[in-house]
Amino acid sequence: MQAPGNSLTGQRLALGAYHHDFESRMWRSEERDSWKLERQQSFQEDGSPSWDAFMRGDWDDALRLIGERRESLAEYYGRAASTGLTFYRVRVVAEPITPYLQWELNSLRQRGECGEQFEW
């Protein structure tokens, strides 16, 4: 895949392959900062129990499931901090807020509370 008017090339990855690739590269990176830019206003979080609950219309369960991952996220960001790695995320949010963003902003708030740095 090549972006129009750009000499950069890349490979589109399925979500699971992306997560695996990211994790394998991140922990051995010489760079100590990890930046992520997100601007999609809609997305399908396949494989996320919280997203599945949200899609079923069970907002209480979706929020509960987000809360259940707090400990693992705190451990993840703690591990990163102990190696000198800082995660930064820039999230572009446009109105009207989509159902996906409504769900995701709760997830991102928790990530921020556990150690990820945000720019809105």
Instruction: Specify the pLDDT at position 92.
Output: 92
Instruction: Specify the pLDDT at position 108.
Output: 92
Instruction: Specify the pLDDT at position 119.
Output: 62
Contact between residue 51 and residue 107 where contact means Cβ atoms under 8 Å apart: no
Does the residue 18 lie in any domain? no
Does the residue 6 lie in any domain? no
Does the residue 47 lie in any domain? yes
Does the residue 58 lie in any domain? yes
| Distance separating alpha carbons of residues 45 and 63, to the nearest angstrom | 15
Give the pLDDT mean for 27-51. 83
What is the total count of domains within the chain? 1
Q: How far is CA 21 from CA 42, 45, 92, 116, in A?
A: 23, 17, 24, 20
Q: Tell me the residue range of the domain where 105 lies.
A: 33-119
- To the nearest whole number, what is the mean pLDDT of the chain? 87
Contact between residue 89 and residue 38 where contact means Cβ atoms under 8 Å apart: yes
User: What is the b/e burial string over 36-59, where b = at least 16 CB atoms within 10 angstroms of the residue's CB?
Assistant: eeeeeeeeebeebebbebbeeeee
Does the residue 28 lie in any domain? no
Does the residue 65 lie in any domain? yes
- Beta-sheet strands, E only, within 31-110: 33-38, 86-91
Does the residue 60 lie in any domain? yes
Does the residue 4 lie in any domain? no
pLDDT > 60? residue 102: yes
Cα–chain center distance at 98: 17
Q: How far is CA 30 from CA 24, 34, 85, 86, in A?
A: 13, 11, 10, 12
Instruction: Specify the pLDDT at position 60.
Output: 96
